[in-house]
Amino acid sequence: MKYNAVTEELLQELRQVVGEKYVKTDPSVLDIYKADESLAPSYWVMPEVVVLPADARETAEIVKLANRYKVPLTPRGAGTSVSCGAVPAQGGIVVLTERMNRILECSEEGMYMVVEAGVRTADIQALAKSKGLMYAGDPCSADSCLIGGNLATNAGGNKAVRYGTTRNQVYSVEVVLPNGKIATFGSTLKKCSTGFCLDQLIIGSEGTLGIITKATLKLVPLSPFHVDVLAVFTKLSDAAEAVPKIVKAGINPTSVEFMDVSFVRSACEYCKLDLPHKEDGYYDIITIEAFNEAELDEKTEKLMKICEECHATDVVEADDRVWSVRRNCLESTRTYSKVGTSEDLVVPVTKIADCIKTLMEESRKYDFRPFCLAHAGDGNIHFQILKCDMSDEDWEKQLEQFRAVAYPYVYSLGGRLSGEHGIGLKRLKYMEKYTDPVELEFMKTIKQAVDPNWIMNPGKVIEP
């Protein structure tokens, strides 16, 4: 697909839409937006201009200009993507949503919140909690990520095993379509069978079908009783095999997180925290919620029994230190290497133990440094793979060799390439390779129909 360069004429029109202050062309500013949080410099691309609209109307005018001038645009929130989803693959315009940062309404009676795309996820969580409610979307980057990015990638996180991913927390979205029209898809209804479910089509489309500018989010009652449990294992097999047993036990855990010994060690060192068996332990972190103490005690007792049967070395209550270590896992590895990749594999929960054991064993055949953690309760496995003491050529070669084994294996289990990070630019060629051709053709048909100029986040998810 051939695009035009950003011209001075286009810049002048953009300034008329958002004001000169919010059109950025300084090279030092543009350099910030060539990358996201992935450790993948080979994918970085410099935008030609960064624009900050104040609302859906200004966003719509930017989209219309992009169509008229045939210039690509890339929606971007906080840039916490690790799949190069916010990288401007074809240059052009980066549309930042950070000025759209208002919480417009929080209804305690209706249990919903109306927010603009640039609101920080942690602020949504905090306001809901102050009202005795909870926003259940909880990506590990909640302190920095913006809700628009969560919606665009269908972010998962720690509570997905009980409450589902971001798409399960949404009533409706306001979106600027690729033709510049503004639409609201969905409504504050418990059920609806009136036409296509367009809000769910937009959520998870990674900005390829439109720019989300506002959303109405579902809130749930805040459970008055909960406990966080840390189960420590000295064997990988025991920690992995405990997961499906916990999920099937009827205790309905809010989260079941797994950390391998390498992540435990690196995150403890990074956070300067001394946790049990930090040098040789595999961690399962389990959260249980209840609405009365008797229910909580019963569920906790069942959990303790399962952990003991799976040969846990220690089972203790997890405090804030444990969650600090879990949230800083990925950041902790950057002290070892500035180049790496984060795999985001997902398999059925019943297959997660086999998958973790098989791929950890496979990873030991290579010279790169692997770390493994998982949102184990919903089958989402992250391999953080670091380039250490390797040439660039060996790094790329061995990474491809690992993926040539890992991806077909995951698909043989009924799994997929991404559970929550999205396809972005980084997994584009694998999406083409491993997706069913009929499914892929249908997605391309939708994209072509709504975005015939392919200006909306090109180079992501699917190719023209």
CB atoms within 10 A of CB 7: 12
Mean pLDDT, residues 371-389 taken together:
94
Q: How high is the pLDDT of residue 138?
A: 93
Q: Let me know: does 79 contact 120? Beta carbons within 8 Å.
A: no
Q: How high is the pLDDT of residue 6?
A: 98
pLDDT band (50, 70, 90) for residue 39: confident
Which is nearest to 131 in space by CA: 114, 109, 158, 146? 109
Q: How high is the pLDDT of residue 180?
A: 98
Q: In what order do the strands lie in the sheet with 73-76?
A: 23-24, 49-51, 93-96, 73-76
CA distances from 120 to 35, 143, 315, 355 (A): 20, 7, 34, 34
Higher-confidence residue of 38 and 268: namely 268
Cβ within 8 Å of residue 430, ≥6 positions away: 403, 407, 417
* Phi and psi, residue 52, nearest 5°: -120, 90
Question: Above 80 in pLDDT, residue 443?
Answer: yes
Q: How high is the pLDDT of residue 172?
A: 98
pLDDT tens digit sequence for 298-340: 999 999 999 999 999 999 999 999 999 999 998 899 889 989 9
Cβ within 8 Å of residue 3, ≥6 positions away: 70, 71, 72, 90, 91, 92, 455, 458
Cα separation, 137 vs 131, in Å, equals 16
Q: Residue 183 corresponds to which amino acid?
A: A
CA distances from 270 to 317, 389, 435 (A): 22, 21, 38
- Reading the block at residue 40, the tokens are 């993948």
Q: Let me know: does 85 contact 422? Beta carbons within 8 Å.
A: yes
* Phi and psi, residue 287, nearest 5°: -110, 135
- Reading the block at residue 24, the tokens are 């950025």
Q: Hey, what domains does the chain have and what are their CATH numbers?
A: 103-221 (3.30.465.10), 225-413 (3.40.462.40)
What pTM was estimated for this model as a whole?
A: 0.94
Q: How high is the pLDDT of residue 1?
A: 82
Q: Residue 165 corresponds to which amino acid?
A: T
Q: How high is the pLDDT of residue 132?
A: 95
Question: Above 90 in pLDDT, residue 128?
Answer: yes
Cα separation, 426 vs 141, in Å, equals 19
Q: Work out the mean pLDDT of the chain and round it to a whole number.
A: 96
The angle that helices 261-271 and 320-327 make with each other, rounded to 10 degrees, is 110
Give the 3-state secondary structure of residue 152. helix
